[in-house]
């Protein structure tokens, strides 16, 4: 089971930031793919809700230096 959700992302100022957010999300178990938009300040994540939670994504993104908000 894979669902797709879009979350707001705070703090991205360049394309490198967006890559960093994408990398930290896709490293997570249960995250299938992540599409991060610098222009929209958002991350669209395809994930298995039984294997990954938005809370885990928030922690991973925070470690990378950014903030993932609630959808």
Residue 64 sits in the site that holds ligand 9UX (CB under 6 A): no
Binder among 3, 4, 10, 16 for ligand 9UX (CB under 6 A): 16
Running DSSP on this structure, what letter comes out for residue 28? S
Tokens of 46: 């395809």
Do 54 and 36 form a contact (C-beta atoms < 8 A)? no
| Total of residues contacting ligand 9UX (CB under 6 A) | 4
Residue 14 sits in the site that holds ligand 9UX (CB under 6 A): yes
2 — phi, psi (to 5°)? -130, 130
How near is the Cβ of 17 to ligand 9UX at its closest, in Å?
3
Summarize as ranges the residues that interact with ligand 9UX (CB under 6 A): 13-14, 16-17
């Amino acid at each position: 089971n894979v669902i797709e959700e879009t979350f707001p992302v705070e703090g991205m100022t360049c394309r490198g930031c967006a890559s960093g957010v994408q990398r930290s999300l896709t490293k997570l178990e249960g995250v299938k793919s992540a599409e991060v938009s610098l222009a929209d300040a958002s991350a669209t994540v395809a994930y298995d809700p039984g294997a990954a939670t938005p809370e885990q994504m928030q922690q991973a993104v925070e470690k990378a230096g950014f903030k993932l908000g609630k959808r």
